[in-house]
Amino acid sequence: MITGKTKTVGILGYPVGHSLSPLMHNAAFNALELDYIYVPLPVEPDHLGQAVAGLKAMGVVGANVTIPHKVTIIPYLDELDRSAQLAGAVNTIVIRKGRCIGYNTDVQGFVQSLTAKNITIKGKNAVIMGAGGAARAVVCGLIEQGIDQIIIGTRNNLKAQEFVKLFPTGTHIQGCDWQKAMFIDAIRQCDIFINCTPLGMSTNNEVALPINWQDVKSNATVCDLIYNPPMTQFLTDAQSRGHMVINGASMLVEQGALAFELWTGETAPRNIMCEVLAKF
């Protein structure tokens, strides 16, 4: 029951109608009988600064931050935790004593989605499609776990080149246009192949990812950060060629659980969060 004491958290994004986070978090609050509510907060990019000021003014406890605000929200925050500083992107905010602090729980969420399936990261090669906020978190997680080499493929080579400059010199990370020979060479050698673009989301009817599956190393693990739908065309194609596939659901649960713990100080009921997602 919502009362005058109920604490509010939510999800800032645009659009947010596809998000399963409200279902997952409200189920978790109910399971632990915590007096919190999680609401969708659709905010157009031009209104992001006003929205952050509004959350502080209204005493909102915190929020998740999703596409397209993960990087652009940073100038509106008062402080960044180390996870967000390293990733250069924010997926969770906590508002304490009127100060808005940015965190990035996607980093550990992604790592956990691989380690839960016993995928080794140390010493391996990864190829990532996309160079947005989620890709930054994925790269941070892979580096932290000792990946050997990362190739970033994008539709726009300039964006790939800008992206790789975000990481310390000495990091084995290179960028390229995903239509070029360098990308084809990379997928021939990759152990972990990850889609970090929104291509394949249920809300996205645009072009498919440009993959020739004959070029992909036969025993590569194939991951898609998308969780809605659970099996994108990218994962369906990979599975039909015998690849192990991992969708974004386990990352969603872990990043959400870590955010829940930041807002409430309670251990998140991960099993409940998984169960509610499995129904969709």
Query: Active-site residue numbers?
Result: 70
Q: Which stretch binds ligand NAP (CB under 6 A): 76-84, 179-187, 223-231, 257-265?
A: 223-231
Written as six digits, the tokens of 54 are 């509004």
Q: Is residue 68 involved in binding ligand NAP (CB under 6 A)?
A: yes
Length of the chain: 280
- Count Cβ atoms within 10 A of the Cβ of residue 230 and give its class: 0-12 exposed, 13-18 middle, 19 or more buried: middle
Residue 229, SS3 per DSSP: coil
Output the CA–CA distances (angstroms, integers) from residue 239 to 38, 113, 228, 229, in the order listed: 35, 17, 17, 15
In order, the DSSP letters of 63-112 are: EEE-TT-TTTTGGG-SEE-HHHHHHT--SEEEEETTEEEEE--HHHHHHH
Q: Which of 31, 67, 244, 274 binds ligand NAP (CB under 6 A)?
A: 67
| Minimum CB distance to ligand NAP, residue 95 (Å) | 21
Tell me how far apart the alpha carbons of residues 118 and 114 are, in angstroms, rounded to a whole number.
6
197 contacts ligand NAP (rule: CB under 6 A): yes
Among 63, 111, 140, 252, binds ligand NAP (CB under 6 A): 252
What residues between 1 and 60 interact with ligand NAP by CB under 6 A?
Answer: none
Closest CB 100 distance from ligand NAP, rounded Å: 19
- CA dist., res. 250 & res. 243, Å (int): 18
Shortest distance, position 197 Cβ to ligand NAP, whole Å? 3
Alpha-carbon distance of 37 to 61, in angstroms, equals 10
Complex with ligand NAP: residue 73 or 101, whichever CB lies closer: 73
Please tell me whether residue 191 binds ligand NAP under the rule CB under 6 A.
no
Closest CB to ligand NAP: residue number: 132
Among 74, 157, 166, 198, binds ligand NAP (CB under 6 A): 198
Q: Is 248 in the site for ligand NAP (CB under 6 A)?
A: yes
> Which chain residues interact with ligand NAP by CB under 6 A?
67-68, 70, 106, 109, 130-135, 154-156, 159, 196-199, 201, 206, 225-227, 248, 251-252, 255
